[in-house]
Amino acid sequence: MKKNIIQSIGFGLITLCTMLTLFFLGSIIYFIVVRGIGVISWQFLTDVPRKAMTEGGVAPAILGTFYLTIGAILFALPLGLACAIYLNEYSPKGFVVNIIRMSINNLAGVPSVVFGLFGLALFVKFFKFGVSILSGSLTLGILALPIIISAAQEALMAVPQSLREASLALGATHWQTIKKIVLPHALPGILTGVILSIGRIAGETAPILFTAATFYARGLPRSIFSEVMVLPYHIYALMTEGTHPDKQTTIAYGCSLILLVLVLVVSTIAIVIRQKQRSANG
């Protein structure tokens, strides 16, 4: 039968597509793990770079990534949560809400390098924060805002309406209901969103190129106004700057592996938790 032959060919093709996808993505992970694993050692994780980036470790870059991520979350979480609470708990339906929704969607689609330009023009230049942890964190925070808002909104929506009604029926006010009933119930979902955005922020490079990152910093950052070494930027700089490409590539393998493991572990945790929650909520 002709139509069954076509079916076999079609199914064969889409199976091939899946295998190619897994092959490509798998080989990227494979190469980086295999070539990077030999570089990783206790010294590599805890030492500072030595001999013009050809020896030593990358501890300052790991620490810098940590600082920037924390800073960005500190900025984006309260803002994103407030926005989600407004949209889900207070919003009078209509024009205003549509505009806010639209701006969140569009903010999520802005290319990361444009966030970098924005951070450069506003935080570095206009507010005179300079190339610093503060500028970088704020820039990354704005980038993470849409992710946190949508995760928080999903978590708030999953809180059963009957809980709110029960609380209001007992005489609690609107804010008391939100604070004591809705937020505690939505907390795990909100945390998932935070973890998810940590995975995203930690790997972002373009927004911090001109707002926070430096290839070499003498010593660790002293204040939020110091520039920092950051893992993703370090990988880029090792590959494009400096005078010992061979030795630098080796170190870049190590950095890539650390970053890859960090991001994959974080997002695996978030996605697994989210899936459990979704199936629990039906």
Partner 1 sequence: MYKIKEKIYKWLFTLLAFSSLIFLLGIIILLFKESFPILKQVGLEGFIFGKNWYPTHGQPEFGILPIILGSLWVTTGAMLVCVPLGVGSALYIHELASNRQKAILKPMIEILASIPSVVFGFFGMAIAAPILQKAFHLPTGLCAFTASLILGIMAIPTICSLSEDALSCVPLSFREASLAVGANRWQTLVQVVIPAAGSGISTAIILGMSRAVGETMTVLMVAGGAAVIPHTFFEPVRPMTSTIAAEMGEAVMGSLHYNALFSIGLVLFIFTLVFNVIAEIVSRRFRLKLGLGR
What part of residues 185-224 is at the interface with partner 1 (CB under 8 A)? 199-200, 202-206, 209-210
Least Å from the CB of residue 2 to partner 1: 11
Least Å from the CB of residue 261 to partner 1: 11
In angstroms, rounded to a whole number, what is the distance separating the alpha carbons of residues 77 and 174?
22
Under 8 Å between Cβ of 43 and 251: no
In angstroms, rounded to a whole number, what is the distance separating the alpha carbons of residues 182 and 40?
44
Burial class (CB in 10 A: 0-12, 13-18, 19+), 146: buried
Least Å from the CB of residue 56 to partner 1: 20
Give residues 23-52 in contact with partner 1 (rule: CB under 8 A).
Answer: 24-25, 28-29, 31-32
Element spanning 50, H or E: strand 49-50
Least Å from the CB of residue 40 to partner 1: 15
In angstroms, rounded to a whole number, what is the distance separating the alpha carbons of residues 146 and 256?
26
List 72, 104, 147, 181, residue binding partner 1 (CB under 8 A): 104
List 94, 109, 219, 282, residue binding partner 1 (CB under 8 A): 109
Going by the DSSP 8-state scheme, the letter that residue 120 receives in this structure is I
Applying CB under 8 A, which part among 44-52, 55-63, 216-224, 234-242 lies near partner 1?
A: 234-242
Least Å from the CB of residue 245 to partner 1: 10
Under 8 Å between Cβ of 224 and 71: yes
| CB closer to partner 1 out of 38 and 78 | 78
